[in-house]
Chains A and B, each alone.
Chain A
Amino acid sequence: MIGSLRMYGVFTRKSFQRAAAYRFDAWTRILGNVIMLCMWGFIWYALYQGRGSVESVTFHSMLSYILVSQALQGIHGAGTPLWEIQERVRTGDIAIEMLRPYDYPLRMLFTDFGSIFFYFLTAVLPLYTIIFLILSPVLPTTFLQWGLFILSATLGYFIRYCIELTFGLFTFWLVETGGVEDIFYFSISLFSGSVVPLWFFPDWLEQVARYLPFQGIYYVPNSIFVGQLSGHALLMALFTQIGWLVLCFAILRYVWAKASMKIVIQGG
């Protein structure tokens, strides 16, 4: 157990060093992230002009929501993207991974940790600390709220990871994945509440979103951060996240088990 943990730790360390070697790429990525942050900031500012609060949410809270959402999106984006997983399946590189004495989904997770640590420490953390200090948006007021936010954001990370890898593994059956990835990207951008929180949705669409796993990725941690979710509702949301994580993880393991049986390698 300790031994295998140490082995996976090596992947994390190597991937951290790799990210440090290619730091130019990491830092151009943060530029794109900041452009998107500015865009959503100004959009919400314009929407709120001449209004105090909408659906009992003020602009001040909304600004905080957008900030924490973009920071989390930056962290999520530092992991292995969907197209890279698909490419690895399509080119057959994944076959080599299967020969090696480790569990592929777990190895991917630990590799992602490395690049995320680097990106978080050198780009997201310093930049967003400055932005938070300048704009002074709504912050969690208690240590408990901070703790719950971090817990919820971590759960959200694992949910996204399971879903994204599962979608990536569909390549085993489809080979051509145009369409599948578009469904994934659409769901993850709208239903996760990454840019528009669920409370602004039309009622029927909000109901749909609440029955999907994507809300656990950004919407729940963001809402905890800005204080829109508290007390009983907060506990319910956390349990829903855990439930979805268990389910998504089970699906991932099932799909992975099936995929290992069904390997088709192209080319000769």
Chain B
Amino acid sequence: MLQNWLRGMKMYFYMIGVSIRTQLQYRYAFVMNILGWAMTYAGTAITMWVLLYSFGAIEGWSFWELLFLFALSVLSWGVCVVFFFHFRMLDQFIVQGTFDRFLVRPIHPFFHFMAMKFDVGAFGQFLFSIIAVAMAYNQLDLHWNVWQWFVFLGAVIGGTLIQGGLLIVISAMAFWTTRSERLYWVIMWPAKSLMNYPLSIYPRVVQVLVTFVLPFAFVNYLPALLLLGKTRGIYSPYWGFFSSLVGAVFFWLCFQLWMLGLNRYKSAGS
């Protein structure tokens, strides 16, 4: 068992090593990919700034607090992109019948598919989010205790697992509908954008949905309440502690769904 795991890990690192080297082959594309992502997020941040220019605040959130909220979700999304972003493309493999190769190798198919790519483009997300969090930390004059740093770390881990879990669910849809990439862009991307703004602006039904069903709230809003010292509102202030736990449970459920789909898979090849 342990030996199997060690062998799997060794293989994983070998394969992501190959993936990183392939991406580094094209220098210009590599740099532009990173800068492109950083610019896209900076663009959203500028839109937020313009939005708050005439209004000052949204539900008591100033621009810097809003930027912190946004950057926190981008940070964990970055980690998630590194490991899971290519899951959205599962439909291509299924439609073209190339998914079969993941089934005939002596490594777990999920693990194998995950190891296919290690997306270095995500450094664009890190570039933006780390700078933005640092700027917000300075501007808001925050001084976090040790436990708040743990909440921050927990939010990044939990956010990665929650968003990664959702990507896995989206990809699992390909087993049933042979579509996943499009579902990502038309459903998950807009739904994820909702979380760039404080949850309290949405009606109660949306709040319940993103807290208990698709736990986006644990990605950034609930931890941000703790980290920015915001206590007003209907949420108990210590919910933000549970990001990692919620993430782990949710990820496990998503993984089970993916395996359920995998067992149902029939090759589309000739």
Closest chain A residue to B61 by CB distance?
A46
Chain B residues lying within 8 Å of A39, measured Cβ to Cβ, are 190, 193-194, 197
Which residues between 49 and 91 of chain B lie within 8 Å of chain A, taking CB atoms? 50-51, 53-55, 58-59
In the bound complex, how far is the Cα of B201 from the Cα of A178, in angstroms?
34
Q: Give the contact stretch, choosing among A8-16, A26-34, A245-253.
A: A26-34
Q: Is the CB of A42 within 8 A of B190?
A: no
Q: Is the CB of B201 within 8 A of A42?
A: yes
A18–chain B nearest beta-carbon distance, Å:
15
A127 at the interface (CB under 8 A from B): no
* With A42-B201, A179-B32, A200-B51: A31-B40 Cβ-Cβ less than 8 Å: no
In the bound complex, how far is the Cα of B43 from the Cα of A179, in angstroms?
13
A189 at the interface (CB under 8 A from B): yes
B59–chain A nearest beta-carbon distance, Å:
5
A202 at the interface (CB under 8 A from B): yes
Q: Is the CB of A178 within 8 A of B51?
A: no
Q: Is the CB of B58 within 8 A of A43?
A: yes
Contact with A along B124-154 (1 / 0, CB 8 A): 0000000000000000000000000000000
* With A42-B201, A43-B58, A200-B53: A195-B28 Cβ-Cβ less than 8 Å: no
* With A43-B201, A45-B201: A35-B190 Cβ-Cβ less than 8 Å: yes
In the bound complex, how far is the Cα of B187 from the Cα of A144, in angstroms?
38
Chain A residues lying within 8 Å of B32, measured Cβ to Cβ, are 176, 178-179
In the bound complex, how far is the Cα of B36 from the Cα of A114, in angstroms?
32
Q: Is the CB of B33 within 8 A of A178?
A: yes
B9 at the interface (CB under 8 A from A): no
In the bound complex, how far is the Cα of B194 from the Cα of A138, in angstroms?
25
In the bound complex, how far is the Cα of B181 from the Cα of A28, in angstroms?
12
In the bound complex, how far is the Cα of B201 from the Cα of A32, in angstroms?
19
B268 at the interface (CB under 8 A from A): no
Most buried by B among A29, A182, A185, A200: A182
Q: Is the CB of B186 within 8 A of A190?
A: no
Q: Is the CB of A46 within 8 A of B43?
A: no
Chain A residues lying within 8 Å of B179, measured Cβ to Cβ, are 24
Q: Is the CB of B29 within 8 A of A46?
A: no
B26 at the interface (CB under 8 A from A): yes
Chain B residues lying within 8 Å of A42, measured Cβ to Cβ, are 197, 201-203
In the bound complex, how far is the Cα of B194 from the Cα of A36, in angstroms?
8
Residue of B35, B54, B191 near A54 (CB, 8 A) is B54
A47 at the interface (CB under 8 A from B): yes
Residue of A28, A35, A43, A205 near B50 (CB, 8 A) is A205
Chain B residues lying within 8 Å of A132, measured Cβ to Cβ, are none
B83–chain A nearest beta-carbon distance, Å:
21
Chain A residues lying within 8 Å of B46, measured Cβ to Cβ, are 190
B158–chain A nearest beta-carbon distance, Å:
23
Q: Is the CB of B47 within 8 A of A190?
A: yes
A196 at the interface (CB under 8 A from B): yes
Q: Is the CB of B40 within 8 A of A32?
A: no
A55 at the interface (CB under 8 A from B): yes
Most buried by B among A51, A185, A196: A196
Chain B residues lying within 8 Å of A33, measured Cβ to Cβ, are 190
Q: Is the CB of B201 within 8 A of A179?
A: no
Q: Is the CB of B186 within 8 A of A29?
A: yes
Closest chain B residue to A28 by CB distance?
B186
Contact with B along A145-176 (1 / 0, CB 8 A): 00000000000000000000000000000001
A25 at the interface (CB under 8 A from B): yes
B225–chain A nearest beta-carbon distance, Å:
16
A223–chain B nearest beta-carbon distance, Å:
16
Q: Is the CB of A200 within 8 A of B26?
A: no
Chain A residues lying within 8 Å of B197, measured Cβ to Cβ, are 39, 42-43, 46
A251–chain B nearest beta-carbon distance, Å:
23
Residues of B within 8 A of A (CB): 26, 28-29, 32-33, 35-36, 39-40, 43, 46-47, 50-51, 53-55, 58-59, 179, 182-183, 185-187, 189-191, 193-194, 197, 201-203
9 contacts between A and B (CB under 8 A): A28-B182, A32-B187, A35-B187, A36-B190, A54-B54, A178-B33, A185-B40, A185-B43, A200-B55
The 3 closest A-B pairs by CB, nearest first: A178-B32, A32-B186, A46-B201
Residues of A within 8 A of B (CB): 24-25, 28-29, 31-33, 35-36, 38-39, 42-43, 45-47, 49, 51, 54-55, 176, 178-179, 181-183, 185-186, 189-190, 195-196, 200-202, 205
Given A195-B51, A196-B47, 11 more pairs with CB closer than 8 A: A31-B186, A31-B187, A33-B190, A39-B190, A42-B201, A43-B201, A178-B36, A185-B43, A189-B43, A195-B47, A196-B51
